[in-house]
Amino acid sequence: MGLLNFLFGNKTKKIQDFKNRDAVILDVRSKAEYDSGAIPGSKHIPLQQVASKVATIKKWNKPVITCCASGVRSGSAAAILKSNGVEAMNGGGWQSLYRKLD
């Protein structure tokens, strides 16, 4: 096990676990960014709206993998969701997440 895996866990394994449990991919980029390319089937809620949409997200009753352009906004979104009782993880940048989902 590499040092980074030891420190941060194996993200690919966690993504697979979430995916196996029918996780929802939540893209938190702006509408313009999302419209220019996104993971097929992902849901879109800009980061600024995530806190106000927690009740809706909870109704999905599924784990959530957040993504954005680089992983910063999705990290914030995952933290907001976790603090509100949603099982969530930061999937990082949407393009690298998309490759990991294959």
pLDDT in tens, the chain (102 residues): 455 455 555 788 899 999 999 999 999 999 999 999 999 999 999 999 999 999 999 999 999 999 999 999 999 999 999 999 999 999 999 999 999 987
Question: How far is Cα 46 from Cα 36, in angstroms, rounded to an integer?
Answer: 14
- Apex 51 CA angle, 50 and 56, nearest 5: 70
The CATH architecture to which 10-101 belongs is: 3-Layer(aba) Sandwich (3.40)
Specify the pTM. Answer: 0.90
Q: Domain ranges in the chain?
A: 10-101
> Cβ distance 43 to 26 under 8 Å?
yes
**DSSP annotation of 23:** P
| Cα–Cα nearest to 42, from 65, 59, 61 | 65
- Classified as helix, coil or strand, 92 is strand
